[in-house]
Amino acid sequence: RYSSEQDFVADLRQMWFGLYSRGDGEPDSSGFEHIFSGEVKKGKVSGFHNWIRFYLLEKQGALNYLSHNFDGPWDSYPDVLGLQFSWEGFHKELGSAFIGCSPEFEFGLYSLCFIARPGRACHLSLGGHRLSIQTYSWTKSTYGPGKRFIATAYIITP
């Protein structure tokens, strides 16, 4: 897929951190921001799939965990959780996140699935348990011939 490590790193940088517009035409969003930090769109939380950010905002009182609808099959970390929460008054009706893993692990896993299976479910085995990651490309703009930004990536909970 890549002729050199430099090409691979440059592509990762663009697909994750390249800016595009999710709203009024101003380049104001990236896949990394959407997935790891979260955004508010049309009065609802969008993205926000990172447990560390979740933990820090909850500790500050800016986020309120409401409930979960799925707890992964793992007895240790990382685990997966399907959850609901409110963030500064905005609601996330259903979200999913790895719990207890490094951001590097998530970044690597989401990158692998986006490159190998863009726009569809990427089925994996983690610790002997099945896991699916859904990715989507940003289709309204590109950063090169046939190159698409990451719009989102998240764990599919049953």
Predicted confidence (pLDDT) per residue in 147-157, tens digit: 999 999 999 97
| Residue type for position 123 | H
**Three-class DSSP category at 52:** helix
Residue 78, number of CB atoms within 10 A of its CB: 18
Enzyme catalytic residues: 34, 49, 92
State the pTM of this model.
0.90
**To 5 degrees, how large is the angle CA 76–CA 151–CA 114?**
60
Domain boundaries, the chain: 5-156
**Mind listing the pLDDT tens digit for each residue in 86-102?**
999 999 998 999 989 99
Q: What is the reported pLDDT for 115?
A: 95
**Residue 75 in this model has a pLDDT that exceeds 80:** no
Q: DSSP E strands: which ranges in the chain?
A: 39-41, 44-46, 63-71, 79-87, 90-99, 121-126, 129-144, 147-156
